[in-house]
């Protein structure tokens, strides 16, 4: 589906209930839910690459994934139809784009991500579960990587092998059957390039089991391609309430690559990424920490942070991030295309705010 066709589909999903609302009964009108939303996220930072011959240390400002969007749903009583459009806002560069992607990654060049858009989907949900099509967060990310993607700065989320979002994706999420649930995804040409340069389709499957405050998940992300690459993952989410005056959250994941690559490069068969995240929330204060080992993409990582919920919609944050080899560190206000791969990693200190509306 092209970007224009998908946008038209979303617009139709949003507009049809609105156009019919004037002639509907109050009960029918109340079945419609429409919401504009946004989030402004900015940080000031000090970045110190290990190899200053590649890039000097610097102070600067960076967007931390600001966005604006609209959601609509219409409940028929039997099923609910929904649509969502969300765009990135790179406020540090005054552009409509994601601060990392900046409309300039390999996924954009291969038309696996649409410029400017983070989410653009339509779907239906009911007793059978939820089915959605478009560009959205992928099922494998939601089950395996999300449990440790809990920081507030630009540097959150890098310690994983998987992709976050892909377009032309059909995703299904099952109901919860006594704690057990499943999800699956198919992304047309969302995988890796094969030997002829064509893109393979991408397939994902996950299973989760919830026991009160604990959730275990397992998943596979099959990207195909000339190296026949797949990622197998396990994750844990656990919350301990009433610890002192607050609560503790623990997230963990392990991912292992299966591929035909036998040389010491990214994607090598058998490479395993492991993460352990923990946070303690008491009142308006949240303290966070994560250690991780992600071979060929950061290697040994350490991330620590502090959030202060100043008001219901306004959060202040401070974080320290260290990577042994380069994964996230880039030029001032740069993104993926400006990553300082030759800088041998480095460290960052960030102070910022997040305002949701």
- Residue 159 CB-density burial (10 A; 0-12 exposed, 13-18 middle, 19+ buried): buried
* Per-residue confidence (pLDDT) for residue 146, from 0 to 100: 98
Enclosing domain of residue 176 = 3-356
Give the pLDDT band (50/70/90) at residue 30: low
Condensed to tens digits (0 to 9), the pLDDT of residues 279-332 reads 999 999 999 999 999 999 999 999 999 999 999 999 999 999 999 999 999 999
pLDDT reading at 17 higher than 60:
no
Higher model confidence: residue 19 or residue 300? 300
> Are 291 and 304 a contacting pair, CB within 8 Å?
no
Condensed to tens digits (0 to 9), the pLDDT of residues 48-86 reads 999 999 999 999 999 999 999 999 999 999 999 999 999
Chain centroid, CA 100 distance in Å? 12
pLDDT reading at 23 higher than 70:
no
- Domain with residue 112: its CATH number is 2.40.160.10
Number of domains the chain is built from: 1
SS (H, E, C) 65-127: CEEEEEEEEEECCCCEEEEEEEEEEECCCCECCCCCCCCCCHHHHCCCCCCCEEEEEEEEEEC
* Per-residue confidence (pLDDT) for residue 336, from 0 to 100: 95
Give the pLDDT band (50/70/90) at residue 28: low
Mean pLDDT of 265-287: 97
What is the chain's mean pLDDT, rounded?
A: 93
Higher model confidence: residue 30 or residue 38? 38
pLDDT reading at 38 higher than 60:
yes
Give the pLDDT band (50/70/90) at residue 192: very high
pTM of the entire structure? Answer: 0.91
DSSP 32-78: EEEEEEEEEEEEEEEEEES-TTTS--EEEEEE--EEEEEEEEEE-SS
Condensed to tens digits (0 to 9), the pLDDT of residues 129-170 reads 999 999 999 999 999 999 999 999 999 999 999 999 999 999
* Per-residue confidence (pLDDT) for residue 19, from 0 to 100: 38
């Amino acid at each position: 589906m092209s970007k224009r066709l998908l946008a038209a589909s979303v617009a139709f999903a949003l507009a049809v209930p609105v156009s019919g609302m004037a002639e509907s009964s109050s009960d029918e009108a109340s079945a419609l839910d429409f919401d504009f939303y946004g989030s402004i996220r900015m940080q000031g930072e000090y970045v110190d690459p290990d190899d200053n011959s590649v890039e000097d240390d610097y102070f600067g400002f960076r967007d931390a994934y600001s966005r604006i969007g609209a959601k609509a749903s219409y409940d028929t009583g039997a099923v609910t139809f929904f649509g969502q459009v969300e765009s990135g806002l790179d406020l540090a560069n005054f552009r409509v784009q994601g601060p990392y992607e900046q409309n300039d990654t390999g996924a954009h060049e291969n038309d696996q991500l649409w410029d400017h858009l983070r989410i653009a989907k339509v779907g239906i949900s009911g007793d059978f579960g939820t089915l959605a099509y478009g560009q959205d967060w992928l099922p494998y990310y939601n089950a395996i990587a999300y449990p440790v993607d809990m920081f507030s700065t630009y540097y959150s989320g890098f310690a994983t092998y998987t992709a976050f979002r892909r377009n032309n994706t059909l995703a299904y999420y099952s109901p919860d059957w006594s704690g057990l649930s499943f999800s699956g995804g198919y992304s047309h040409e969302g995988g890796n390039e094969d030997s002829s340069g064509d893109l393979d389709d991408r397939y994902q499957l996950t299973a989760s089991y919830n026991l009160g405050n604990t959730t275990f998940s397992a998943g596979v992300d099959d990207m195909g391609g000339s190296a026949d690459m797949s990622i197998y993952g396990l994750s844990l989410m656990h919350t301990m309430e009433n610890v002192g005056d607050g609560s503790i959250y623990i997230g963990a994941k392990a991912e292992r690559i299966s591929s035909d690559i036998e040389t010491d490069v990214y994607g090598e068969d058998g490479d395993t990424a492991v993460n352990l995240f923990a946070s303690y929330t008491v009142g308006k204060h949240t303290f966070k920490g994560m250690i991780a080992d992600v071979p060929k993409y950061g290697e040994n990582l350490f991330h620590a942070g502090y959030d202060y919920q100043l008001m219901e919609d306004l959060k202040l944050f401070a974080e320290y991030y260290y990577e042994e080899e380069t994964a996230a560190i880039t030029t001032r206000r740069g993104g993926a295309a400006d990553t300082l791969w030759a800088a041998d990693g480095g460290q960052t200190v960030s102070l910022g705010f997040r305002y949701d509306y």
